[in-house]
Amino acid sequence: MGILDNPVSKERLLNVELPAIQAYNNQRDSEYRVTVEPKGGELHLKYRLKPAHNCYELLTILSESYPVVAPTTRVLTKLQQCPHLLYQQTLCLWKQGSRLADSRWDPARFTTVFAIQAAWRWLACYEIWMVEKAWPMPEAR
């Protein structure tokens, strides 16, 4: 079963996520807009962010378990290995817990646009880390 096959997920996509992405895109130049494409049972969001000096290509994946399971965001642009960068350049955006109560992702409060904004903040921290060699945000607890 894919994300579009689940009636609850599909309703959320149509009523919450896609309108939020459209509003986000309306405020951006065309090169920084989010594109959405179904792939397998997932939705792939591709976009570019420029938090400071560098521009980055990103991919956010909404799995078939979204929104209960947080989206996964990877940077497609090559990065140096640093704190909070996981396997295959996946960003450590949420405290990973085995239960919803242990995770920082809250599907009742957040949308994919929040995930994109979290990726922007992560990249801003990364650019500071590149100069200072110290992560400017507190560690997840």
Grade residue 141 by pLDDT with cuts at 50, 70 and 90: very low
Query: Using CA atoms, how far apart are residues 94 and 100, in angstroms rounded to an integer?
Result: 11
Query: Using CA atoms, how far apart are residues 43 and 59, in angstroms rounded to an integer?
Result: 10
Please write the tens of the pLDDT for every residue from 35-54.
999 999 999 999 999 999 99
pLDDT of residue 95: 62
67 cis-preceded (ω within 30 degrees of 0): yes
List, in order of start, the domains of the chain with CATH numbers: 7-132 (3.10.110)
Paired tokens of 16: 């919450």
Least confident of 3-7, 73-77, 110-114, 118-122: 3-7
Paired tokens of 85: 């960068």
pLDDT at 80 > cutoff 90: yes
User: What is the phi/psi pair of residue 56, to 5°?
Assistant: -125, 140
- In the chain, % of residues over pLDDT 70: 91
